[in-house]
Amino acid sequence: MKRLSLSTLAALPSGTDLRLPDYDAADLRVGIVHLGLGAFHRAHQAIYTEDGLNGENWGICAYTQRSDAAAAALAPQDGLYTLIERGPAPAPPRIVGSLREARSGPSDPVPVPERIADPAVRVVTLTVTEKGYRLAPTGRLDHQDLQTVRDAARFGLPDHRHVTVAGQLVAGLRLRRDRGSGPITVVSCDNLPANGQAVHTIVHDFCGLLPGGDTLPQWIEDNVAFPSTVVDRIVPAATDADHADARRVTGLDDKATVVCEPHRQWVIEDRFAAPRPAWEKAGATLTGDVRPYEAVKLRMLNAAHSTIAYLGALAGHTTIAEAVQDPPIAHAAARLMAVDAAPTLTPPPALDLTAYQDDVLRRFANPALGHTTAQVAADGSAKLPIRLLGTIADRLDAGEEPSWAALAVAAWMVHMARRTDRHGRPLTVRDPLASDLARTEALLSRPPALVEAFLSHRGVFPERLHDDNTLRDLLIHHTRRLLS
Ligand code: CS2
């Protein structure tokens, strides 16, 4: 079977139940550099960009950040891939053309900074995951992070390949300044609060690690915008069955198929230093303040997702859809949203939180997606502070007991410490702190000691929460029940 590529795309019959790019992808020039070439980017920003092209050159050059697999799969396909929606009222499958270059961040002959310095590039987008920002609990760039220290120490050396997001961005912005490439906008698309501020912070802090006297920080303040955005689309890792579906639909071999739910949302702070794609033509919302949308998304949808992932994995459920069919788990997720999260939120005027909660659970129950509890459970030490600990702190400050949010945190603790489900079957645990916290397995018979071992981890729990006896008692209670 022939491989999907620009030449085999051109030979595809029109009129089938397969949507093809309505422009010549071979002629589309790069205007966006993306960091974090993963499935979510290709199901979200790449789709908004393609549907908002408007005849302009907003092709995407995307770089992997860790694994080169996505670049290895996409480069032979000229960046083309099949997108398949699964769930209620799915759109027809489509071949997406907006990704024009797929490159390896660690090893491509054209390093990230070179591509960012291209004057035709006016936007950088990021999906590097929460841990990719290398933030300290203070919300600043973690100066103890070894890769950050190394990138800063070797900054500007001709043979140095920056591996941190901050290093890649600052090196690219410096080249942009030196070559007079003009202003640019850096658009974070990660599940972080104030994600634009977060990337601005790591860029600013990284500059602070460099030799003094450089005009770069001022150039960045004058020429670079860092708008915040809120992104939403459930995008499970693709399976062999998904690739087989793509082959059946297109008649071509596609090693980079993406599957996703029909729903998508992108709320973007309208603050740009240079031209941008007409993403609003593809349904994006431009606004002056994303915070109301952001808090709802992170503290309700993502918090409920994590709750279902940990309780579901411990109960032996492989997928989110199976777990949310389990009444106690669905109840815990619903109560987390309604009782603990909702009172901390001021939603946008037109958004009804009860309807939002019901819609979230309906989306999670989509049996066609195969979204695994293991995928959502990954990186909990970076996700929980964003999704659950802010809610917990706010409820404690209000004199309330955030029991449902505490249950989710306790489930994460047991998931990390026991690493088996209720039937004794091993669980997949992927977390930056997995090795640090492996020692907690010895504490499973002593819930108070287990909880203390997690609460004392300053990379996750601020002192305010470590010292709160109400939370500690809730965590011990829930941990004891989950372990019994
Ligand atoms: C999920 C998110 O993997 C996870 O942590 O909670 O990727 C979630 O699917 C998206 O934020 C939905 O918009």
Choose which residue among 234, 260, 296, 371 to substitute to test ligand 1 binding: the one with the highest number of ligand atoms within 8 A of its C-beta: 234
Six token digits for residue 90: 């799915």
Tokens 């989509």 identify what position? 366
Q: Topology of domain 6-287, per CATH? A: Rossmann fold (3.40.50)
Q: What is the mean pLDDT of the chain?
A: 97
DSSP 261: -
pLDDT tens-digit profile of 106-118?
A: 999 999 999 999 9
Given this model, what pLDDT does residue 16 score? 62
The structure's pTM equals: 0.97
433 alpha carbon to ligand 1 midpoint, in Å? 20
Chain region(s) in the chain for CATH 3.40.50.720? 6-287
Instruction: Judge: domain 291-483, CATH 1.10.1040.10.
Output: yes
Q: State how far the Cα of 409 lies from the Cα of 392, in Å rounded to an integer.
A: 10
* Percentage of the residues of the chain whose pLDDT score is greater than 90: 96
Strand pairing class (59-63; 265-269): unpaired
Q: Which atom of ligand 1 is nearest to the CA of 305?
A: 6
Strand pairing class (94-96; 99-103): unpaired
pLDDT tens-digit profile of 434-458?
A: 999 999 999 999 999 999 999 999 9
Region 171-195 average pLDDT:
98
Chain region(s) in the chain for CATH 1.10.1040.10? 291-483
Choose which residue among 232, 259, 305 to substitute to test ligand 1 binding: the one with the highest number of ligand atoms within 8 A of its C-beta: 305
Protein residues with CB under 6 Å of any ligand 1 atom: 191, 232-234, 302, 305, 375-376, 383
Given this model, what pLDDT does residue 212 score? 86
450 touches 444 (CB < 8 A): yes
Q: Is the pLDDT of residue 125 over 80?
A: yes
Size of the chain in residues = 484
DSSP 426: B
What is the longest distance spanned by two Cα atoms in the chain? Answer: 67
Given this model, what pLDDT does residue 213 score? 78
Region 207-214 average pLDDT:
90
The burial of 425, by beta-carbon neighbours within 10 Å (0-12 exposed, 13-18 middle, 19 or more buried), is given as exposed
Residue type, 89: A
